[in-house]
């Protein structure tokens, strides 16, 4: 008698409905936010985009994909057609390009199997020719900043900042030292010098990470140069 109960219970466990039995998503969607094919740098988690699966869903909700600090992104998705939208126009250090297919900033992404796709955008500014030199505990950097968006939506530079981090995640809100020059204080856009002296940390550390960020007036997020390891001596 008891055994038949147990078998009955086991049978219940074996049956489940088709509805909630499906495979996990396994198509990998990767790429970078780029300008002329070169990835742009951001602070980790600043920039994100939304994917809306096209179809007749009762309560649609987007998949949010965060962009890493080197401009790359990756997401595991189901095979389907998605609308890709980069929201937050007053937030990002770039403007979305108009997509010829949709005549708006929406991009249609067809996922079937893994896919690599870069998203071209129009940044307000880009940072080039970054070089670092160290002497003792001082890090000196030079860079050039080029204005890319010169149209009606162009914006001024609020400041250019050299940021030093003790981990490889460096941003204007996560750093141990910084020095900046305001947009008005820049004399030569082709050669902007910045210097930071690192305070000796309590732990024994001589390798630090540096990058340069450009704050654009009226825009929350900064655009950054790639993170570079620098070695100093105390």
Partner 1 sequence: MKKYIFILLLTPLLWGCNDEEFLSREPKNVLSTDLLFNDKELVKSVLADLYDRQIDFQRVDRWWEYANFDYAFASANGDYWRHKQLDYPYDWWRNWDYTYVRHINLYIERIKNATGLSEEDYIRYNAEGRFLRAVCYFELVKRMGGVPLILESLTYDYSGDASYLQYARSTEKEVYDWVLAELDSIKNDLPSKIDIKSAATKGAAIALKSRVALYAASIAKYGATTPEVSLPGGEVGIPLSNANIYYQIALDAVEELESLKLYSLFNQESDPSENFAKLFLTKNNNSELIWIKDFSLEYRYHGFTLDNSPLTSSEEGTTGGRLNPSLNFVQSFELLDNSFAPYRTNDEVTGDFIYYDNPGDIFANRDPRLAGTVLLPGMSFKGKPVDIMAGYLTPDENGDYIDVVTAAKPGALAKIGDTTLKVVGNDGPIDGYEFTAQTGFYARKFLDPTIGSARIGTQSDVAWPRLRFAEVLLNGAEAAFELGQTDVALGYINRVRERAGFEIPLEADDLTFDRIVHERNVELAFEDHHLWDMKRWRLAHIVWDGMDNELTTNPLPAAQSSTRPFGLIPYRIYDPGSPNHLKWVFKKVLPTSVTQPHRFRLGNYYSQIADDVISHNPKLVRNPNQ
Pick 143 or 163: Cβ nearer partner 1: 163
Interacting positions 85-104 with partner 1 (CB under 8 A)? 87-91
Beta partners for residue 104, in sequence order: 99
- Based on the shown chain and the rule CB under 8 A, indicate whether residue 218 belongs to the binding site for partner 1: yes
Minimum distance from residue 91 beta carbon to partner 1 (Å)? 5
For the bound state, the minimum distance from the C-beta of residue 36 to partner 1, rounded and expressed in Å, comes to: 26
Q: For 68-99, b where at least 16 C-beta lie within 10 A, e where not — what string?
A: bbbbebbbebeeeebbbbbeeeeebbbbbeee
- Closest approach, Cβ 59 to partner 1, in A, equals 5
Which CB atom, from 59 or from 233, has the smaller least distance to partner 1? 59
Helix (H, G, I), strand (E, B) or coil at 33: strand
Nearer to partner 1, 74 or 172 (CB): 172
For partner 1, which residue of 220, 229, 231, 234 counts as binding (CB under 8 A)?
220
- Indicate the residue among 31 and 165 with the shorter CB distance to partner 1: 165
156 binds partner 1 (CB under 8 A): no
Of residues 42 through 71, those in contact with partner 1 by CB under 8 A are: 45, 57-62
Strand ranges, E, within 20-156: 27-35, 38-39, 48-53, 63-66, 72-77, 80-85, 94-96, 107-111, 115-116, 119-123, 125-135, 138-147
Question: By CB neighbour count within 10 A (0-12 exposed, 13-18 middle, 19+ buried), where does 172 fall?
Answer: middle
**What are the residues binding partner 1 (CB under 8 A)?**
45, 57-62, 87-91, 172-175, 218, 220
């Amino acid at each position: 008698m008891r055994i038949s109960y147990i078998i009955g219970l086991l049978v219940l466990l074996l049956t489940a409905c088709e509805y909630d039995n499906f495979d996990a998503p396994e198509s990998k969607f990767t790429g970078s936010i780029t300008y002329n094919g070169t990835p742009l740098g951001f602070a980790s988690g600043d920039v994100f985009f939304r994917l809306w699966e096209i179809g007749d869903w009762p309560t649609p909700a987007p998949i949010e994909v965060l962009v890493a600090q080197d401009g790359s992104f990756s997401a595991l998705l189901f095979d389907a057609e998605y609308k890709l939208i980069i929201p937050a126009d007053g937030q990002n250090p770039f403007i979305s390009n108009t997509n010829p297919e949709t005549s708006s900033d929406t991009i249609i992404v067809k996922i079937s199997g893994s896919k690599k796709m870069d998203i071209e955008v129009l940044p307000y500014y880009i940072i080039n020719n970054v070089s670092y030199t160290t002497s003792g505990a001082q890090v000196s950097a030079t860079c050039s900043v080029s204005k890319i968006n010169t149209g009606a939506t162009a914006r001024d530079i609020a400041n250019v900042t050299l940021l030093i981090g003790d981990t490889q995640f460096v941003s204007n809100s996560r750093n141990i030292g910084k020095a900046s020059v305001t947009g008005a204080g820049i004399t030569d856009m082709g050669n902007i010098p910045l210097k930071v002296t690192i305070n000796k940390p309590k732990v024994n550390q001589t390798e630090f990470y540096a990058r340069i960020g450009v704050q654009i007036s009226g825009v929350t997020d900064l655009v950054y140069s790639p993170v570079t390891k620098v070695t100093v001596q105390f």
